[in-house]
Amino acid sequence: MKKVLVVSFSQSGQLTQIVDNFLIPFQGVDIDKVTIDPTTPFPFPWDTKSFYDVMPETVLEEPIAINAPRFKHSTYDLIVFGYQPWYLSPSMPATAILKNEAFCARLKGTPIVTILGARNMWLNAQESVKLLIKNAGGNLVANVPLIDKTFNLISVITIVHWLGTGKKTKKWGIFPFPGVSKQDINESHLFGEKVMASLQAGDYEKLQNNILTLNKININTSILFIESRAKKLFRIWAKTIKKKGVNAKKRAFWLMIFRNYLYFALFIVSPIILTVYTLVFRPLTFGRIKRKKEYFRSVKLN
């Protein structure tokens, strides 16, 4: 019987639902489900202070303490790794397990499928995950990112409502539902079918291409543009906050500045820059954008 390790973490349960639906086709398989268990749990719903407080260490990928994961086996035929991005980086629990010795030992030489439940910015986080998997000697064979397909700025408003109340409901009854849509969650078994076929055949060569034929993984040009620049800025912010925030009061001050910057960048600067880019530069860089999208839709690591 094929052995599959499934490792994930979810605060709201969204990613758990995605992974559970993804696994529906995995009949007759020995599935070992492991939940990443931070020693100090993160709040859910999030209060504003805690939400911004995790930014520097998340971006700098500092591993938090987690309770020792218990695996049924020492080797697996396949590992399914479910995670979510936080601040354009793997979430803190995801980073912690990817730097965990026992998990890395199981990644080594094993085909790995990553599956994400994000708002809409997962490109940088996935680059980090690819690198950590590669460093552990794992073999990334597929990536299934699920996102909120609503307009970017609307999804900022709806996710703040969701993460701040813990309720995946329509803000004021008029905004769209936050997060990955029910339909996309329910249909994630379609990806599972492709992965299961590869598991049975023991051949992952064409798996990502097969997944792409479902035509469900698309990269928005504006998001690509934002992500190409924002992570560098986040790293500068993270280092500055850590350097200047030498005590709780100073850290809170710098986090407040970052918070204002983030809203200013999202709602004022990026719409202006994106309009200029779309009208003037985008037509000139069409070929480059296409190549970048192909790269991010693949499992390659540059």
Where does this chain bind ligand FMN (CB under 6 A)?
10-12, 14-15, 46, 51, 54, 84-88, 117-122, 163
Contact 196, 25 (CB under 8 A): yes
Q: How far is the CB of 109 from ligand FMN (least distance, A)?
A: 29
Residue 61, both tokens: 């990928």
Q: How far is the CB of 118 from ligand FMN (least distance, A)?
A: 3
Q: How far is the CB of 12 from ligand FMN (least distance, A)?
A: 3
Q: How far is the CB of 13 from ligand FMN (least distance, A)?
A: 6
Q: How far is the CB of 234 from ligand FMN (least distance, A)?
A: 9
Other Cβ atoms within 10 Å of 237 Cβ, number:
20
Q: Checking DSSP bridges between strand 85-86 and strand 89-90, what pairing results, if any? A: antiparallel
For ligand FMN, which is the closer residue by CB, 43 or 202? 43
For ligand FMN, which is the closer residue by CB, 83 or 103? 83
For ligand FMN, which is the closer residue by CB, 178 or 192? 178
- Pick from 148, 127, 146: which is nearest to 191 by CA? 146
DSSP helix, strand, coil percent of the chain (3-state; round to 5): 55, 15, 35
For ligand FMN, which is the closer residue by CB, 122 or 258? 122
Contact 142, 203 (CB under 8 A): no
- CA distance readout (Å), 175 to 64, 94, 171, 222, 268: 35, 30, 5, 22, 21
For ligand FMN, which is the closer residue by CB, 103 or 162? 162
Q: How far is the CB of 28 from ligand FMN (least distance, A)?
A: 28
Question: Is residue 154 exposed (0-12), middle (13-18) or buried (19+ Cβ within 10 Å)?
Answer: middle
Buried b (16+ CB within 10 A) or exposed e, 220-235: bbbbebbbeebbeebe
C-beta nearest to ligand FMN: residue: 12
For ligand FMN, which is the closer residue by CB, 53 or 199? 53
